[in-house]
Amino acid sequence: MKKVVFCALVAAVIFALSCSNDNGESKKAKTQIDSLLDDVLDGHNIGMAKLGKVARAEQATKRLLDSIAKLPAKARQAAEPLKVKLDSLKSDLSYAEFAMNRWMDEFNMDSAIDNAKERARYLEEEKLKVTKVKEAILSSLQKADSLLKVKI
């Protein structure tokens, strides 16, 4: 009886080892569509992770613009170059948030799921779109970091 259990155990171990690759990766190769979808989702995840910071930067920018608006006329005039930069920053931050929300509303995870060629084309386009959205978010935050000089 012990020999039967031992042989079964050895057979199970050999079977398990033969089912895995040498490097431990899954036998299923990643397709072009899988890679494109991963790229699209990575772009989305990077952008989404920064949206809270975008909102905080928008709030800080609005507070500064409100403060400038309350200054006496002479001080307001002196702060005009800063106001122009803050207005531009506010616009960039608003656009970045809008672009991410719009992209998420329009993205169809299951688009052309039964047609590999069309799905690949769709995911290529979405990869370009989400990359632009991610870049808008990151560049507006970089601008906010340099202009606001406060922890956001």
| Domain interval for residue 107 | 30-148
In a domain, 25, yes or no: no
Whether 112 maps to a domain, the answer reads yes
Domain count, the chain: 1
Question: Nearest-CA neighbor of 63 among 136, 141, 150, 145?
Answer: 150
Q: What percent of the chain has pLDDT over 70?
A: 79
Q: What is the mean pLDDT of residues 65-93?
A: 95
Segment 97-121 mean pLDDT: 92
Does residue 80 sit within a domain? yes
Q: Please give the residue that has the higher pLDDT: either 140 or 32.
A: 140
Residues 10-69 have pLDDT tens digits of 344 444 445 544 454 444 558 888 999 999 999 999 999 999 999 999 999 999 999 999
Tell me, what's the pLDDT at 27? 47
Whether 123 is in a domain gets the answer yes
**What is the pLDDT averaged over residues 70-76?**
94
The answer to whether residue 6 sits within a structural domain is no
Q: Do the domain assignments include residue 120?
A: yes
Residue 35 located in a structural domain: yes
CA–CA dist 128, 40 (Å, integer): 8
d(CA 67, CA 53): 21
* Nearest C-alpha neighbor of 134 from the set 25, 41, 30, 6: 41
Q: At what angle do helices 80-106 and 116-148 cross, to 10 degrees?
A: 160
Q: What is the pLDDT of residue 151?
A: 56
In a domain, 21, yes or no: no
Give the CA distances from residue 113 to residues 33, 34, 39, 104, in Å, rounded to whole numbers and listed in that order.
Answer: 10, 12, 17, 18
| pLDDT at residue 113, as a whole number | 86
Average pLDDT score, the chain = 85
